[in-house]
Amino acid sequence: MCSGRIDLKFILRAFSNGVDGVFIGGCRLGECNYVTHGNYHALTMVLLCRRIMEHIGLNPERLRLEFMSSSDGIRFAALANDFSRKVKELGPFGSSEGIDEDELKAKIEEVTKLIPYIKMAQREKLESRLENEEKYEGFFTSDEIEKLLSEVPSFYIDPEKCQACMICSRRCPVEAIEGGKKRIHVIDQDKCIKCGTCFEVCPPRFGAVKKISGEPVPPPIPEEERVLIRKSKKK
Looking at the chain, the whole-number percentage of residues with pLDDT higher than 90 is: 74
> What pLDDT does residue 3 have?
85
Burial of 13 from C-beta contacts in 10 A (0-12 / 13-18 / 19+):
middle
Q: Among the listed ranges 21-30, 193-202, 225-234, which one has the minimum average pLDDT value?
A: 225-234
Any idea where the domains of the chain sit in the sequence? 3-150, 154-233
How do the residues of the chain divide into helix, strand and coil, expressed in percent and rounded to 5?
A: 45, 10, 45
Confidence at 95, pLDDT banded by 50, 70, 90? confident
Dist CA 109 CA 105 (whole Å): 6
Confidence at 23, pLDDT banded by 50, 70, 90? very high
Q: Has residue 231 got a pLDDT over 80? A: no
pTM summary value: 0.82
Q: Has residue 168 got a pLDDT over 90? A: yes
**Are 183 and 227 contacting, i.e. CB atoms less than 8 angstroms apart?**
yes
**Partners of 210 in the beta sheet?**
156
Dihedral of alpha carbons 132, 133, 136, 137, sign: negative
Q: Has residue 36 got a pLDDT over 80? A: no
Dist CA 173 CA 176 (whole Å): 8
The alpha carbon of 103 is separated from its chain's Cα centroid by a whole number of angstroms, namely: 19
**Are 46 and 6 contacting, i.e. CB atoms less than 8 angstroms apart?**
yes
Q: Has residue 42 got a pLDDT over 60? A: yes
What's the N-to-C CA distance of the chain in angstroms?
A: 63
Confidence at 235, pLDDT banded by 50, 70, 90? very low
> What pLDDT does residue 146 have?
94
CATH class for the region spanning 154-233? alpha beta
> What pLDDT does residue 37 have?
81
Confidence at 232, pLDDT banded by 50, 70, 90? low
**Partners of 218 in the beta sheet?**
none
Question: For 113-164, what is each residue's pLDDT tens digit?
Answer: 999 899 989 999 999 999 888 889 899 999 999 999 988 999 999 999 999 9
Dist CA 198 CA 194 (whole Å): 9
